[in-house]
Amino acid sequence: MMNSLKMVLLAVSTLLLTFPVCAQEVTKEQIKGLDEQIQEIKTDVLGIAAELNRLEEKLLYPSDTQVAVFVSLASGEKVRLDSVEIQLGGKPVAHHLYTYKELEALQKGGVQRIYTGNIMTGQHALQVTLLGQTAGGTDFKKTESFNVTKDVGPKIVEFTLASQNITLKDW
């Protein structure tokens, strides 16, 4: 009886694996055909995205007044960055809380554009505040202030965190 049970188990499994019973099958051709159309729409939407980026930049951030602030971590930096706040001319303009994925991306060398805005030409006070945790587990908060000069043309500044020190690079 038990041997026959074993054989039946095997036979049933075999049957079910080789002759599936279902009302409607999905064929490889259907999957491939749909996949092709999805790739086409992705291309179309990417085209829309690129043109919208250009439109947005031209409309909202004309080059004469544009300022962009980037944040990066120094190579090999092990600090856990929790949040960054940017103040421009004494007013908070950007605040970001980091997810684990974002932190990992920064540690791999990615650069985050944390703020894009408009300022007049001339001198401006720029303050950055970082909150995080060191590799040893100690919490830290670091604030640095800088002066940036806006000329004609887009202004790009990058803050880099290295060993709990913030450096500013004017691009």
Which residues within the stretch 113-152 sit at the binding site for other proteins (CB under 8 A)? 113, 121, 152
Helical ranges in the chain per DSSP H: 2-18, 28-60, 100-107
Q: Is the C-alpha dihedral spanning 24, 29, 32, 35 positive or negative? A: negative
Q: Would you count residue 21 as binding other proteins (CB under 8 A)? A: yes
Nearest approach in angstroms of CB 47 to other proteins is 8
Which C-beta is closer to other proteins: that of 68 or that of 93? 68
CA dist 153 → 15, 17, 61, 124, 171 (Å):
72, 67, 11, 15, 12
Give the per-residue contact string, 63-102, with other proteins (x = CB under 8 A; - = no). Answer: -xx--x-x-x--------------------------x-xx
Contact by Cβ (8 Å): 143, 129: yes
Nearest approach in angstroms of CB 138 to other proteins is 26
Nearest approach in angstroms of CB 27 to other proteins is 10
Which C-beta is closer to other proteins: that of 47 or that of 89? 47
Residue from 94, 105, 131, 148 touching other proteins (CB under 8 A): that is: 105
Which C-beta is closer to other proteins: that of 4 or that of 147? 4
Between CA 122 and CA 64 the distance in angstroms is 12
Which residues within the stretch 47-66 sit at the binding site for other proteins (CB under 8 A)? 47-56, 58-60, 62, 64-65
CA dist 85 → 28, 45, 47 (Å):
51, 32, 33
Which C-beta is closer to other proteins: that of 91 or that of 108? 108
Contact by Cβ (8 Å): 70, 111: yes
